[in-house]
Amino acid sequence: MQRYATITVIGRDKTGVIARVTNFLFEQKANIEALEEAVTRGQFSMVLQASWKDGQLKPTTLRRGLDALAADLGMEIKLRLTEPRRKQRTAIMVTREPACPEALLAAFKKGQLKKAEPVVIIGNRADLGSLARSHKLPFVYIPWNDRKRAEKRVLEVLDKYEVDFVVLARFMKILSPDFVWRFKNKIINIHPSLLPSFPGPQAYRQAYEHGVKIIGVTAHFVSMHLDEGPVIAQESFHVKPDWSLKRIVAEGQKHEAKALVRAVKLYLTKRLDVYWGTVKQV
């Protein structure tokens, strides 16, 4: 049986990094399945997926070698070993709105998301701790007063629970590019508008004030740019003339939950590919 790993490399840009990492993996009998790299404002980032034939992967040697390489390059190198047949381990990040996390957890319970399992709920507020406990899931409260410190703590939690992908179920904080790259095309967010229209936190209010007659929601991969990630799924609804902003928000929340669950289902089919910023079903 083949073994798989995802390796992320992050640090100040310098020459020879890709060659050093891939040569080391070649020495470890790895096959490079996919590689993406980018340099943003002098920051080098690379995500690499590798596989090994049965019996050829030596995890201790691999980890020790990558640690030594990271120290020599002065960069962060993270290794995540994955089993091809295990369920995808999911972290759900929340703030205080319950509709989306409730819908996700209900879908998991009903067996609608069979290829994944929720392993932890992370909140920047403590409001939804009882929801996590009712589903027998650990809830980790991480205040967001200092984003850098908060993101560092979140990454520690994701490592602890060996998380494969993250769902932002109305998580109302912006994640830095440094965080996002570590889970490139593995963070799914729900936004209350038909992107690219009305980005930002007040999308329903903006739509209401503009007199929009059709309002929608967008589930998308999180990218380095706010509310601009590749679109996975969208839902829309017609606004009646007498609807208040409160009525629009309530209707929108139903569609947010529906679109987010559908996006996770599509992600788990493993039939999504991001090509030039657009999600394609393959």
Domain regions of the chain by residue span: 3-82, 88-281
Q: Which of 252, 282, 253, 277 is nearest to 267 (CA)?
A: 282
State the DSSP code for 14. Answer: -
> Mind telling me the catalytic residues?
227
Q: Report percent pLDDT > 90 for the chain.
A: 59
194 versus 277: the higher-pLDDT residue is 194
Q: Which of 129, 112, 220, 124 is nearest to 167 (CA)?
A: 220
What confidence score (pLDDT) does residue 282 get?
47
Determine phi and psi for 110, rounding to 5 degrees.
-80, -5
What confidence score (pLDDT) does residue 201 get?
76
> Is residue 187's pLDDT more than 50?
yes
pLDDT mean across residues, the chain: 89
What confidence score (pLDDT) does residue 184 get?
80
Q: How far is CA 267 from CA 5, 188, 235, 280, in A?
A: 19, 9, 17, 11
Q: Which of 236, 226, 227, 221 is nearest to 279 (CA)?
A: 221
What confidence score (pLDDT) does residue 198 get?
78
Q: Which of 78, 81, 63, 59 is nearest to 5 (CA)?
A: 81
Q: 88-281 belongs to which homologous superfamily?
A: Formyl transferase, N-terminal domain (3.40.50.170)
> Is residue 84's pLDDT more than 70?
no
Determine phi and psi for 280, rounding to 5 degrees.
-115, 140
Cα 54 → chain centroid: 29
Give the Cα separation of 279 and 220 in Å (integer).
Answer: 9
CATH architecture, domain defined by 3-82:
2-Layer Sandwich (3.30)
